[in-house]
Amino acid sequence: MVSTHNRDKPWDTEEINKWKIEEFKPDDNASGLPFAEESSFMTLFPKYRETYLRTIWNDVTKALNSHNISCVLDLVEGSMTVKTTRKTYDPAIILRARDLIKLLARSVPFPQAVKILQDDMACDVIKIGNTVANKERFVKRRQRLVGPNGNTLKALELLTKCYILVQGNTVSVMGPYKGLKEIRRVVEDTMRNVHPIYHIKELMIKRELAKRPELAEEDWSRFLPMFKKRNVARKKSKKPKKEKKIYTPFPPAQLPRKVDLEIESGEYFLSKKEKEIKKLHERREKQVEKQEERQKERNQDYIAPKENEYRGSAKIEE
């Protein structure tokens, strides 16, 4: 059979942008009928987000009503729910509404989170809580991702054109799909003790290479830096050397029992009352000794310091 793949296509011109995402309109729903079943998603939110969600919920409702999606805020259960209605015509908008309430629960501000309803925007919530067992190490690596004054996050946002928010045990990211992939790689490597500056350098080089059209079909690996893992020698704490014991074939002498010690001191033959009287005398003697020590410490504050001998200014006659 003759192949029709290589034939001329007069309708396929260079002016057509094949990567353009066209907006889904009511006319695109060919049947014009409502969906057969109702789709709904629910997300729980922490207690500290309750006051903020209460203030912005009217704006959330307006944004979702424009896409014919209903939403419910349950403060008793601590949950947000989104549902399709009979007027909903876009089958994918319910997934974007689900992402919206998920981002709001992860402390993303509403003006930023509402952008997820756009067709060219995607989001990703990266979990970092279970990557490091030690809590102190986890906090240090998470802070390394943020950087001093948030400079590392700003650099990543500029290079990937994404919005990044580090909150608790998650990292919320919004932006194009390509940027989300890069950010996930950077975050996961940072929690594996790879500094994000290495990825930032690599992204900067890739951005410069993308400006050169002659390198579009070439391998970029020769331009990218290769960072080798180095084992830095750390000072080890010196342990005291153990002295070698002289070998003797005989076992050590047996330690005396408590009863044997009492027999030697004569305490074994005393009655209960005599033992109690003896313990009382010993306790009082210790109390007297401690009182004397404390009194000496107190008296030290009243002892006058030693002064140098005063010598007059009269001249000594020769």
127 & 100 share domain? no
Largest CA distance in the chain: 138
Which residue among 225, 240, 259 closes a domain? 225
Which of 225, 253, 273 delimits the end of a domain?
225
Question: Which residues, 6 or more positions from 126, have their beta carbon under 8 angstroms from its beta carbon?
Answer: 170, 171, 172, 173, 183, 184, 187, 188
Task: Output phi, psi for 205, to 5 deg.
Answer: -65, -40
User: Do 134 and 216 lie in a common domain?
Assistant: yes
User: How many Å apart are CA 100 and CA 203, to the nearest integer?
Assistant: 28
Is the domain of 81 the same as that of 128?
no
The pTM for the full model equals: 0.65
The residues pairing with 112 across neighbouring beta strands, listed in sequence order, are none
Provide the domain count of the chain: 2
Specify the CATH number for the domain of residue 50.
Answer: 3.30.1370.10
- Model confidence over 263-300: pLDDT tens digits? 888 888 888 888 899 899 999 999 999 999 999 988 88
**284 located within any domain:** no
Sheet with 163-167, strands from edge to edge, namely 122-127, 170-175, 163-167
Q: Are residues 146 and 213 in the same domain?
A: yes
> Model confidence over 115-125: pLDDT tens digits?
999 988 999 99
- Tell me the sheet residues that pair with 175: 122
Q: Is residue 309, in this structure, part of any structural domain at all? A: no
The answer on 67 and 114 residing in a single domain is: yes
Name residue 93's amino acid. Answer: I
Instruction: List C-alpha distances in Å: 208 to 178, 197, 201, 202, 224.
Output: 17, 17, 11, 10, 11
Same domain for 127 and 217: yes
What single string gives the DSSP state of each residue in 40-77?
Answer: EEEEE--GGGHHHHHHHHHHHHHHHHTTTEEEEEETTT
> What Rg value do the Cα atoms of the chain yield, rounded?
39
Q: Which residue in the block uniquely carries the two structure tokens 């943020």?
A: 146
Domain range for 45? 27-119
Domain match, 127 and 186 both = yes
Q: What does the pLDDT read at residue 101?
A: 95
Do 132 and 55 lie in a common domain? no
Return the amino acid letter for 218: E
**The last residue of a domain, from among 119, 149, 179:** 119
- The tens digit of pLDDT for each residue in 20-29 reads 878 888 888 8
65 token code pair? 């009503």
Is 17 within the bounds of a domain? no
pLDDT in tens, 88-142: 888 889 999 999 999 999 999 999 999 999 988 999 999 998 888 899 999 999 9
What value does the mean pLDDT of the chain take? Answer: 87
